[in-house]
Structures are given as structure tokens and as C-alpha cells.
Amino acid sequence: MKIRQGAFSFLPDLTDAEIHTQVQYCIDNGWAVSVEYTDDPHPRNTYWEMWGHPMFDNPDAAAAVFEVNECRKQFGDYYIRVIAFDSTHGWESIKLSFIVNRPKDEPGFHVSREEVKGRSMRYSIKSYATDKPEGKRY
């Protein structure tokens, strides 16, 4: 399966030139671009590891694409995403997030069900990959 998180997961994988266009859009809007990576892609895993701080004051989209590639060198078989932070009052959160790298094999998730009272069910979603410890998953 292909994990569909982020704004562009239904498009073919983005080239570096395509990543550049999106990063440029973020910079033009005054947002700080950041690179993050993980080997735990659970939909509610909020905190991916930070590949350095958000690039405040960076005017150059190429610098962000460079960092993506540096991250890929070390974590080529991880999920890597680019996110952009908007510090404007009233938002102060993420404005864009998209995946730029994924493992060759994405085993996906299984749903576990616990039957509870009545016909109710407690659901839990678990990544097959996270059965193994961090760093040994993909």
C-alpha cells in the first residue's frame, strides 16, 4: 500500500525540481520550511524526527531541496516530509505538508478490533513495520 498522508500523495513521486516549486511557494509566503523523517508512519504519529530546525529566514528553495537530499542519504528508506510553518497570528501552525521520500516497501497497517459490550467495538490501527524496533523497520 501507499501511505497517502500529505498534500501530494496521490500524484506521482515528486522530482527535486517539483519539490523546489512547492518550497519556493512556501518561502514566498513567508513560511519556514522544515524537513522531518520517520519510520513510524502511523496516521497519528504527530512528531516525526526533525532534520534540523525549521529554516527560518532562508530565502533559497534550493537550500531546502539540498537538505531533503542530505536527509535521504542518511534515511533513504524512511518517510521524509517537507512541512512549512506560518507564524501569522490566527494560524501559527503548519500551512503545507507533503511526503518527498518513502521506503521501497510499504507494508501498511492492520486494524485490530476488540469486541466490547453490546455490539460496540474498540478499534486500533497498528503499523506492521513498528513491530520491529526503531531504526530496524524498513
Partner 1 sequence: MPDGSEKLTAKARYSAGVLEYKKMGYWEPDYEPKDTDIISLFRITPQDGVDPIEAAAAVAGESSTATWTVVWTDRLTACDKYRAKAYRVDPVPNSPGQYFAYIAYDLDLFEPGSIANLTASIIGNVFGFKPLKALRLEDMRLPIAYIKTFNGPATGIVVERERLNCFGRPLLGATVKPKLGLSGRNYGRVVYEALKGGLDFTKDDENINSQPFMHWRDRFLYCMEAVNRASAATGEVKGTYLNVTAGTMEEMYKRAEFAKDLGSVIIMIDLVIGYTAIQSMANWARDNDMILHLHRAGHSTYTRQRNHGVSFRVIAKWMRLAGVDHIHAGTVVGKLEGDPATTKGFYDVMREEYNPQSLETGIFFDQHWASLNKMMPVASGGIHAGQMHQLVHYLGEDVVLQFGGGTIGHPQGIQAGAEANRVALEAMIFARNAGDDYMQNGPEILARAAKNCTPLKQALDVWKGVTFNYESTDAPDFVVTPTTS
Kindly list the residues in this chain that would bind partner 1 in the complex (CB under 8 A). 1, 3-5, 7-12, 18, 21-22, 24-25, 41-44, 46, 83-84, 89-98, 108-111, 119-123, 125
- Closer residue to partner 1 (CB): 40 or 73: 40
Could you tell me which of 2, 62, 69 has the C-alpha nearest to residue 37?
Answer: 69
- Closer residue to partner 1 (CB): 21 or 74: 21
- Closer residue to partner 1 (CB): 73 or 117: 117
CB of 54 to partner 1, least distance (A): 14
CB 33 within 8 A of CB 54: yes
Q: Is 90 exposed, middle or buried (0-12, 13-18, 19+ CB in 10 A)?
A: exposed
CB of 42 to partner 1, least distance (A): 8
Helices (H), the chain: 16-28, 61-75
